[in-house]
Amino acid sequence: MKTTDVLVIGGSAAGMVAALTGKSSWPDKSFTLVKKQKEMMVPCGIPYIFGTLDSVDQNIMPVDTMMGKAGVESIVDEVLKINKESKTVDLAGGETIKYDKLVIATGSAPIKPKWLAGADKENVFTIPKDKVYLEDMKEKIESCKKIVVIGA
């Protein structure tokens, strides 16, 4: 079983900042960050994917590089279960991590309101921080003549 002093769940902006800030404040402690995806999006840069930037790849945060330089271990996996009593988490890949302190920084996820008629139709999108989804969305909307944005 892997052990760490501080386990951070979430590899986007909040998780990355939590791990980096924690490690710089307590350099003698071990920090581990668990994120679902290898490549993480810069959340505030997502709108630029559809205009200023040429591709989704230009909006990737160098999370692994930054974690490595700071001495934070970065793991690509999904946390399936948190056991507060034993201070462990179970990962989808089968590994268990024991921690002393836990930071949950999983961020937000957009939804399609169930009350909104037509939200389930083809080419109705949300804007998640997901590279593959955004690449597919960008490709699909390139041929659209009209686009409606609800929320911002």
The span from the CA of 112 to the CA of 124, in Å, is: 9
Buried residues in 81-113 as b, exposed as e (16+ CB within 10 A): eeeeeeebbbbeeeeebebeebbebeeeeeeee
How many other CB atoms sit within 10 Å of the CB of residue 4?
Answer: 21
The domain spans of the chain are 2-108
- pLDDT value, residue 73: 98
* Per-residue model confidence as pLDDT tens digits over 76-88: 999 999 999 999 9
pLDDT digits (tens, 9 = 90+) for 54-75: 888 888 888 899 999 999 999 9
CATH (residue range 2-108): 3.50.50.60
User: Strands 73-76 and 31-35, how do they pair?
Assistant: parallel
Q: What is the pTM of this model?
A: 0.84
Taking residue 136's Cβ as centre, other Cβ atoms within 10 Å add up to 13
Confidence band (pLDDT; 50, 70, 90) for 103?
very high
Contact 18, 114 (CB under 8 A): no
* Torsions phi, psi for 5 (to 5 deg): -70, -45
Please tell me the predicted confidence (pLDDT) of residue 152: 67
pLDDT above 80 for 121: yes
* Mean per-residue pLDDT of the chain: 92
- Three-state DSSP state, 9: strand
> Residue 26's pLDDT is what?
98
Reported as a single tens digit per residue, the pLDDT across 5-42 is 999 999 999 999 999 999 999 999 999 999 998 888 88
What is residue 5's predicted lDDT score, i.e. its pLDDT? 99
Q: What is the pLDDT of residue 112?
A: 87
At 150 the pLDDT is 81
